[in-house]
């Protein structure tokens, strides 16, 4: 039987001006696929997400800001999320400086909640056992350049806290007419305990393009 070729999904484009700051929303469902034998050694009665979808798209920035969200749910120790990717385009006439800010919210599953007899873990605690495995903007390895090569999600969220410009990552060059791909992925630490069973979180990435660094 001859296979049927599916048509590619069209790109989603978000145009942004100063008046439309924090405009379009690009959502990623990025729970981990089920892993092999032994992966769930630290969890009892664990269910992992196996039906995850990715949507590619472009956030167009012109001296303004836009946002995108990513979900990490159904993870067990050793599980890694799919890689979240979105293209960031400076469609303005001036070279820009890109800032990235992260905001976390709880997204727990009640499928196994309470089965382990442990209290629900906080978002901050969960972020502390999620290692960032990919954090790139174009050819820039942000994880290596800004975090010494390794960081948890909690480390990234805490970075630059208390500064005048409190974005978690600041001053990434994005020239006029240039497009760079933002890539991000997480892995739950093998040592994560049973208290994280059925816990998940959503990450909102806010991207802001300024005309100069540290603006």
What pLDDT score does 181 carry? 95
Q: Output the pTM of the full model.
A: 0.70
What pLDDT score does 207 carry? 92
Q: Is the pLDDT of residue 100 over 50?
A: yes
Q: Is the pLDDT of residue 60 over 50?
A: yes
What pLDDT score does 65 carry? 73
Q: Which string of DSSP letters, residue by residue, matches the chain?
A: -PPPPPPPPPPEEE---GGG-S----EEE-PPPP--TTTTTT-SS-----------EEEEESSSEEEEEEEE-S--TT-BPPPEEEEEEE-SSS-EEEEEEEEEEE----SSTTTT-PPPPPHHHHHHTEEEEEEEETTEEHHHHHHTT--BHHHHHHTTTTSSS--SEEEEEE-TT-EEEEEEEEEE-TT--GGGTT--EEEEEEEEEESSTT-
65 vs 33, residue with greater confidence? 65
61 vs 85, residue with greater confidence? 85
Q: Is the pLDDT of residue 37 over 50?
A: no
Of the listed ranges 24-28, 92-96, 103-107, 183-187, the one predicted with least confidence:
24-28
What pLDDT score does 210 carry? 84
What pLDDT score does 3 carry? 52
As a whole number, mean pLDDT of residues 129-148 equals 96
């Amino acid at each position: 039987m001859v296979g049927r070729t599916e048509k590619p999904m069209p790109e989603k484009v978000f145009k942004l001006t100063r008046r439309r700051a924090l405009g379009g929303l690009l959502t990623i469902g990025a729970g981990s696929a089920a892993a092999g034998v032994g992966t769930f050694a630290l969890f009892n009665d664990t269910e992992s997400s196996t039906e995850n979808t990715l949507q590619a798209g472009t956030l167009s920035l012109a001296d303004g800001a836009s946002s995108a969200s990513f979900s990490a749910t159904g993870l067990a120790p050793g599980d890694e999320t799919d890689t979240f990717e979105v293209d960031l385009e400076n469609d303005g006439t001036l070279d820009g400086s890109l800032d990235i800010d992260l905001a976390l919210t709880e997204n727990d599953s009640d499928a196994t909640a309470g089965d382990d007899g442990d209290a629900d873990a906080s978002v901050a605690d969960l972020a502390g056992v999620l290692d960032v495995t990919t954090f790139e903007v174009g050819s820039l390895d942000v994880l290596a350049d800004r975090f010494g090569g390794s960081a948890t999600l909690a480390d990234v969220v805490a970075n630059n806290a208390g500064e005048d410009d409190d974005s978690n990552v600041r001053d990434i060059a994005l020239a006029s007419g240039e497009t760079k791909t933002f890539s991000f992925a997480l892995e739950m630490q093998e040592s994560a305990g049973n208290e994280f069973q059925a816990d998940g979180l959503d990450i909102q990435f806010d991207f802001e393009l300024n005309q100069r660094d540290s603006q």
